[in-house]
Structure formats: C-alpha cells, structure tokens
Amino acid sequence: MPTYLITGANRGIGLALAKHLAARGDTVIATAREQGKATELAEVASRVEELDVTDPASVSAFAERVTEPIDVLINNAGFYPNRGEPLDQIDTEAILRAFDVNAVGPVRVTRALLPRLRAGGHKKLVHITSVMGSLRSVDDANQKRSIAYRASKAALNMAALLLSNELEPEGIISAMLHPGWVQTDMGGGKAPLTTEQSAAGLVKVIDGLKPRDNGCFRDYQGKKIPW
Ligand code: NDP
C-alpha cells in the first residue's frame, strides 16, 4: 500500500484526507503542530508527527524522523488571516505569516522530504492551494480583498510550478489542487462542500495524476483552473 504524508492534518481537509486514505488501507503519516490536538487523527493515521511548517528546526527534526519512502506528499497546512480588511486596517505582520505558512512552508517541507519522495514509488507532490491564488479569479465579484491569503497562495502557485519544472526530470509529478469551498474552520459554515466530499474528490484527482499532468492547477473535481 502506498504511503502518504499529509501536513496540517489534525482538523479540516487534512484530517478528512487522512481518514479517506486510511479507510481504503493506505499508510498515512500525518502531521499536527501539537500532538495533543490530534486525537481524532491519531485514531486513523499510521503515525502522527509534530510539525510546524514555519519553523526550520521543526521541519528538519521532522524530516529526520521520517525514514521511510513517501509515495505521495500532500502540502496541506494553511493559514487565512486578514479577511477582507481594507488597506488602512491591514496587519502586515499577518501577511508575512501567511506567506510563511502558505508559500514558504511547502517549499521547506518539500526540500526536507525530497530524499523520501525520491525513494517512493508513486513520486507525487501535491500542494493544496486555492482558486483565490489565481490572478484571473480576482475578476470575480466576491472576495476582492484578503491580500495576505490570496497573495500567499499566488506565491505558492508560482513556487510549486517552478518546483514542478525542476523535479520533472526525476519523474516527480507535481499538482496544485484547489479543494473547493469546504466546511472547515477556514471555509466556514456556509461552504457548500463537506470535508468528506472534498477529500474524496482530491484523492480521485491525485490517484489519476499522470506525468503529462505535471505542473497542473486543478480543483477537487479535476477541472483546470486558470492561473
Ligand atoms: P483549517 O483552518 O481547518 O486547518 C488548517 C490546518 O493547517 C490545521 O491543521 C492547522 O494546524 C494547520 N496549520 C496552520 N499553520 C500551520 C503551521 N505553521 N504548521 C503546520 N500546520 C499548520 O483549514 P482547511 O482544512 O480548510 O484548509 C486546508 C488547506 O486547504 C489549506 O491549505 C487551505 O488554504 C486550503 N483551502 C481551503 C479551503 C476551504 O474552503 N476550507 C478553500 C481553498 C483552499 P493547527 O490546528 O495547529 O492550527
């Protein structure tokens, strides 16, 4: 059975991914910032590891503990501050924090786990991004602000696309996936999708990834999203 590694899996979409994959018999190594917050996760994951993606010492200690090959690495941990504030109310420290979690974090984790991904059979690298990081989506009527989150996800998309080019010669398939608008602490109660629906869709898309899909930006149903 393939081994999946999922970051930020103690709640929300990460937890649903862990449950979905574990239920079909896959091996799931999942991370939480605090083990104590991960009781539900501990019931389904093969192993829960502590990881703060913004802390280089945490990332390197974590990478030393992960000694097995990883077939699919899912960079899922995310942070959404500054919801829609106008410019004069924006907390710029929160913008930096969003970039650290959403854009730099996946690069740190990918770099640290690259030897494990190289050793895996499936060689799939998945970044859970957002349609809100699409420059084209800024034309949409809703959510015109949210600079911290949207700019950090756009930065993730660029970083992930560059990584997809760099890692392609090694046979690593990278994908940037939007999970839909999902009922989580981040997505809120008005979101149309349950975490189970999103996770089931994401797993189907991940299962179907082929070398020709390297560098794609898709949603949880496999639909292409414009950059
Ligand atoms: P939640 O807010 O429910 O969960 C976020 C997860 O990320 C938590 O496990 C949290 O851990 C973890 N996390 C936050 N900061 C760090 C950090 N520094 N290091 C490690 N882990 C961290 O979010 P969702 O489940 O909704 O989101 C999952 C992913 O999906 C994110 O990347 C998000 O941007 C993306 N997404 C979500 C959408 C939605 O509608 N929900 C829509 C589009 C994209 P802790 O519990 O310790 O805070």
Specify the ligand 1 atom closest to the Cα of 181: 40
Is the Cβ atom of 146 under 6 angstroms away from ligand 1? no
User: What pLDDT shows up at residue 138?
Assistant: 78
The model's pLDDT over 85-124, given as tens digits with 9 standing for 90+, comes to 888 999 999 999 999 999 999 999 999 999 999 999 999 9
Buried-state track 51-77, b at ≥16 Cβ within 10 A, e below 16: bbbbeeebbeebbeebeebbbbbbbbb
Contacts of 166 (CB under 8 A, 6+ apart): none
User: What pLDDT shows up at residue 143?
Assistant: 59
The model's pLDDT over 128-166, given as tens digits with 9 standing for 90+, comes to 999 999 998 877 655 568 899 999 999 999 999 999 999
d(CA 223, CA 226): 10
Q: How far is the CA of 165 from the centre of ligand 1 (A)?
A: 26
Look at residue 191 and tell me whether its pLDDT is greater than 90. yes
Look at residue 221 and tell me whether its pLDDT is greater than 70. yes
In a mutational test of the pocket of ligand 1, which residue from 20, 183, 184 has the highest number of ligand atoms less than 8 Å from its CB?
184
Q: Indicate yes or no: pTM above 0.85.
A: yes
User: What pLDDT shows up at residue 51?
Assistant: 98
**Average of per-residue pLDDT across 180-209:** 98
In a mutational test of the pocket of ligand 1, which residue from 19, 48, 75, 79 has the highest number of ligand atoms less than 8 Å from its CB?
79
Is the Cβ atom of 160 under 6 angstroms away from ligand 1? no
The model's pLDDT over 22-73, given as tens digits with 9 standing for 90+, comes to 999 999 999 999 999 899 999 999 999 999 999 999 999 999 999 999 999 9
CB 123 within 8 A of CB 172: yes
